[in-house]
Structure 1
Amino acid sequence: MAPQLSTPVGNRDYSSATVLIIGSGISGMCTAIDLIRRHDCHNFIIVEKGSHVGGTWADNRYPGCRCDVWSHLYSYSFEPSDWTREFADQEEIYSYLLKVAEKWGLFKYIRFNTTVLEARWNAKYEKWETQVKVEGVKDAESGEGYTISSQFLVSAVGQLNAPKYPEIPGLGSFKGKLIHSARWDWNYKLEGKRIAVIGNGATAAQIIPEVAKVAKSVTVFQRTPNWVVPRDDAPIPGWRRHAYRNIPLVRKRYRAELMDIRETNLFNAIVTNDVTNKEGLRALSADLMKTQLLNKPDMIPKLTPSYPPGCKRVIISDDLFLAYDKPYVILETDKIERITEKGIKTENSEHVVDMIICATGFRTVEFMYPIRVYGLGGRSIEDIWRKGARAYLGVTVESLPNFGILYGPNTNLGHNSIILMIEAQSRYITELISKVGEARNEKQTLVITPSPEATFKFNSELQQVLSTSTFAHPDCSSWYKTRDGLITNNWGGTVIQYQKLLSKITWLDYAITGSYASELQRSSSSHIGRVREETMLGRISLAFVLLQMS
């Protein structure tokens, strides 16, 4: 007899579950918690290729690593934290995620050091069959790999998980220390070293000021400049932390006000072509350079972009230009020709270095890379996405039955916290899972696949919106889009618009089969609701409520 949704996977059914979640980062954890708290579902497995929870916050441990979103927005709505700074660093965020995982008992569901090789839909048994490889030495003694069957498959691998190394001739010939920012080696000492940083994006902007504190020299290789505006980071005073801990309404109000700022001014400045707000960002960046590059004003033209703010990721930093102002920090704008045994050769010079840091990002447009996925009729994910990755509502994919993806195509943000998007996706996907679970409990089957028509309509309308956004500007390339200019990564609206879109399931947009299908076909939609986090009370009304509570 099939186990009930509330029954955890045990030894006897070790390779079978209602749900298989790939990844134990923010998305995978959120999905697991929603299964538990919203649907009393414990019959799931999480596989994690690393040895830690936390996803990108476990992988990225480089010096200066911190979030570019205010701390109080960068947490689950249902799990607030006693943040110490306005912008939390990697260690505080990682600690927060550990606490959340421990609170919800997630570790018993996670199989660490387990890499997914392939997932294939078995139409005969209406299940996913996912091949995994066991990487842990001790665990591998019991078997190097196995296949997990599940009624539903969830990809929570995200967009920032597979490091991208630069395609530069001779990269493997360098005899010094070569490192990618997402694979940092803290055992290598930076003091007195000649360091090269390839890349000048958000990650490099955090690394450069830190390594410049101890290095003999730092040479930054820049292809195109970025807009940089102040972070205005600061410790959160004790009296405010006390208020947030003890008066939840005050904490929620602060979070809501932060969201309002990002959903209005910052959205207009980054996503749309609003002239006033863009000029504001330009002025902030120009003022920052003038006040921090006191010794190197001649560097300002090289650091000023020609494209509008928002086309590429806007960088926030309080100390990047201060680092550039140091005499031993060099900005190199010549094209790199090749890597040599001793360093980096450009068109006009050669730089001898002890260490090369590749702050070159991730394989962002290759969603789910390198996992092989095969859906209906054996159709591969490469074939489904041969013209660019796309999904219905950013969460379900044509030809992939009983499948959900978080932080997938067109769900990244340039202006707000990705966790707000992830929570909406998790609520939607776990609602789909609950219907599949209901069928399993009734010893029936249910297969849910987004229709090609609904997928095409959604993405056509979205691309139309994106075509008028800053992301589509022809004067810059970014990790938001493919080489031919298709924007596959970013959402084109506000978070609230996305939350409302995912607040219900429209069953008419899905092909529904299986013996339990008639149960869903009785209604045209299912209401899920959303987390309302924007401000709903004026400050006077809020004060009145607090007085009534006192």
Structure 2
Amino acid sequence: MADYHTLIVGAGFSGIGAAVNLDKAGLADYLIVEAGDGVGGTWFWNRYPGVAVDIPSFSYQFSFEQSPNWSRTYAPGRELRAYAEHCVDKYRLRSRIRFNVEVSGAVFDGDENVWRVELNTGEIITARFLVNASGVLTIPKLPDIDGVDSFSGVTMHTARWDHTQDLTGKRVAIIGTGATAVQVIPEIAPIVQQLTVFQRTPIWCFPKFDVPLPTAARWAMRVPGGRTVHRLLSQAYVEFTFPLAAQYFTVNPFAKRADAAGRAYLRREVRDPVLRDKLTPRYAVGCKRPGFHNTYLSTFNRDNVTLVTEPIDKITGSGVATADGTTYDVDVLILATGFKVMDVDAMTFDITGPSGQTLSAFWEEHRMQAYEGVSIPGFPNYFTVMGPYGYVGSSYFALIEAQTHHLVRCIAQADRRAAHRVEVRQEANDRYFAEMMRKRHRQIFWQDSCTNANSYYFDRNGDVPLRPASTPEAYWRSRSFDLDDYRFTG
């Protein structure tokens, strides 16, 4: 007999959402294991200066637990951590979470029809069902630069920020100009002696309507229907600016005008035309996720900020050397190089099916794919929240709610049928993957300019495992997919 009915890996918002939906379905025999000593996932680990959501707060929350306590239209990271703590306490999840526990690997026992999950403590936990809620913004990605480990000063990745380090008056280098760097650079530039920013690919950046919420707005969120109105308006904005723009690029004329808006913002913010040209992307808006910030671009006007676009040759004991022979001596090296996202290496632990094949090997052989982004053939009783072709690009909370509803439908049906195994049928998976391939031509990613974007959306096969759909479609399908697409046995 299994130790638990369901084991959930990760106590971020994906794990919290899965647990709440399991409780609602009366499937309360579960355990959550979490590598950190707190909840919140991405928002627990990422505490760099300026960390905040890049989607309006009204959309970046569960639809069933809408907070009236956001201080701004775009909440800072500390409020997301507080919101995670609130959800865990309100829904009484804390007693079913084990902190400071990492999963080393999981193997499906075909004789007993259970997952045997090895922890870093040396324990083996068994569970009928395994839910991987460890997310994609999990494993910090180190730059592939010679000597990155040889720097004698302070090195830190933005996802593991060391707040004991005081940057005041220091010479600081930051590698990367993605979404994280867009938030960090304006925060630290005023206090450091010199900030050298190493840019490989510029990012499209747009203004952000980030303002404190007035008392009247907070009051409106507490009256009946107030939060629903705020959320609907926010959802419409989010849907219009990414899923509809990126997933339906070929039929959406607005998306094709975004480049002009980005260039106009650059002209307003950056005085030096040479610098402005260096900060101008050579790819269409949407090839990679754009940044939203009100002072990122103007920060490069500061005398103590230098933008370097020459390729990095190596990192030395004292700083960063570029291909033109210049060495930039620095005291602190910040790696704003993101995460392993669309990559089999992004998996935090090995998953081995009953045939002995690992999930990473399956994806290496067959390309990244998953039925509705949730299930993979050959891996029974296993579900993932952030699987390939699940995410449409809007709020992660929309994804979490759709995916957890899908997997709970499967688990509940297995219990009703007293089935030992539930596994997506190969023909259903093939049909879904073919649909993704058939529809992807309308996405922005397949335009010629995207080859210059260096976007993490692309995996090593050149695929973009994002779902070419709208949020309402993904939400509806999680509630209407044919359960006969799964095989229930035993």
The TM-score normalised by the length of structure 1 is 0.85
- 2:62 is the alignment partner of 1:85: no
Asked whether the 8 Å contact 2:201–2:454 carries over to 1, the reply is: no
Question: What secondary structure is seen at the aligned counterpart in 1 of 2:135?
Answer: coil
In 2, the alpha carbon distance for the partners of 1:238 and 1:99 equals 22
1:406 corresponds to which residue? Answer: 385
Q: Percent identity?
A: 32
- 2:248 is the alignment partner of 1:261: no
Query: What CA deviation, in whole Å up to 9, does each residue of 1:150-191 have, x standing for no partner?
Result: 110000011110111001001111001111110000000010
RCO higher in structure (CA 8 A, sep ≥6): 2
Question: What secondary structure is seen at the aligned counterpart in 2 of 1:426?
Answer: helix
In 1, the alpha carbon distance for the partners of 2:391 and 2:480 equals 21
Give the CA deviation at 1:316: 0.8
Give the CA deviation at 1:66: 0.5
Within-5 A mapping of 1:273-292: 273=250, 276-292=253-269
> Which of 407, 421, 434 is 2:399 aligned to?
421
1:544 corresponds to which residue? Answer: none
In 1, the alpha carbon distance for the partners of 2:333 and 2:446 equals 32
In 2, the alpha carbon distance for the partners of 1:266 and 1:450 equals 30
Structure 1 unmatched runs, 5+? 3-14, 135-144, 515-550
Number of aligned residues = 482
| Aligned-partner residue type, residue 470 of structure 1 | I
1:126 corresponds to which residue? Answer: 113
- 2:442 is the alignment partner of 1:468: yes
Query: What CA deviation, in whole Å up to 9, does each residue of 1:340-393 have, x standing for no partner?
Result: 000000012110011111111111123562311111312211221114321000
- 2:378 is the alignment partner of 1:391: no
Within-5 A mapping of 1:342-491: 342-348=318-324, 349-367=326-344, 369-386=347-364, 387-414=366-393, 416-438=394-416, 444-474=418-448, 475=451, 476-488=453-465, 490-491=466-467
Distance 1:413 1:212, change over 3 A: farther
Give the CA deviation at 1:237: 0.9
Give the CA deviation at 1:438: 4.1
Query: What CA deviation, in whole Å up to 9, does each residue of 1:94-114 have, x standing for no partner?
Result: 111111111111110001111
> Which of 18, 22, 25 is 2:9 aligned to?
22
Query: What CA deviation, in whole Å up to 9, does each residue of 1:186-218 have, x standing for no partner?
Result: 000010111111010000000000110201111
Distance 1:504 1:278, change over 3 A: closer
- 2:144 is the alignment partner of 1:170: no
| Aligned-partner residue type, residue 428 of structure 2 | A
- 2:40 is the alignment partner of 1:54: yes
Give the CA deviation at 1:300: 1.1
Distance 1:31 1:269, change over 3 A: same
Give the CA deviation at 1:265: 5.1
2:83 corresponds to which residue? Answer: 96
The TM-score normalised by the length of structure 2 is 0.95
> Which of 296, 315, 327 is 1:320 aligned to?
296
Give the CA deviation at 1:484: 3.2
Larger radius of gyration between Structure 1 and Structure 2: 1
Query: What CA deviation, in whole Å up to 9, does each residue of 1:114-157 have, x standing for no partner?
Result: 110111111111111111113xxxxxxxxxx2111111000001
Structure 2 unmatched runs, 5+? none
| Aligned-partner residue type, residue 187 of structure 1 | T
Distance 1:128 1:319, change over 3 A: same
Distance 1:214 1:274, change over 3 A: farther
Give the CA deviation at 1:408: 1.6
Asked whether the 8 Å contact 2:251–2:442 carries over to 1, the reply is: no
In 2, the alpha carbon distance for the partners of 1:176 and 1:210 equals 21
1:542 corresponds to which residue? Answer: none
In 2, the alpha carbon distance for the partners of 1:55 and 1:259 equals 23
1:8 corresponds to which residue? Answer: none
Asked whether the 8 Å contact 2:170–2:193 carries over to 1, the reply is: yes
Alpha carbon RMSD of aligned pairs, Å? Answer: 1.6
Asked whether the 8 Å contact 1:196–1:219 carries over to 2, the reply is: yes
Asked whether the 8 Å contact 2:9–2:33 carries over to 1, the reply is: yes
Distance 1:464 1:497, change over 3 A: same
- 2:208 is the alignment partner of 1:231: yes
In 2, the alpha carbon distance for the partners of 1:95 and 1:471 equals 36
Give the CA deviation at 1:284: 2.6
Asked whether the 8 Å contact 2:343–2:459 carries over to 1, the reply is: no
In 1, the alpha carbon distance for the partners of 2:142 and 2:281 equals 24
Distance 1:266 1:48, change over 3 A: closer
> Which of 185, 188, 195 is 2:162 aligned to?
185
Asked whether the 8 Å contact 2:243–2:392 carries over to 1, the reply is: no
Distance 1:469 1:235, change over 3 A: same
Asked whether the 8 Å contact 2:117–2:125 carries over to 1, the reply is: yes
Asked whether the 8 Å contact 1:64–1:207 carries over to 2, the reply is: yes
Query: What CA deviation, in whole Å up to 9, does each residue of 1:454-485 have, x standing for no partner?
Result: 11110121122223311233423311111331
Question: What secondary structure is seen at the aligned counterpart in 2 of 1:171?
Answer: coil
Asked whether the 8 Å contact 2:244–2:470 carries over to 1, the reply is: no
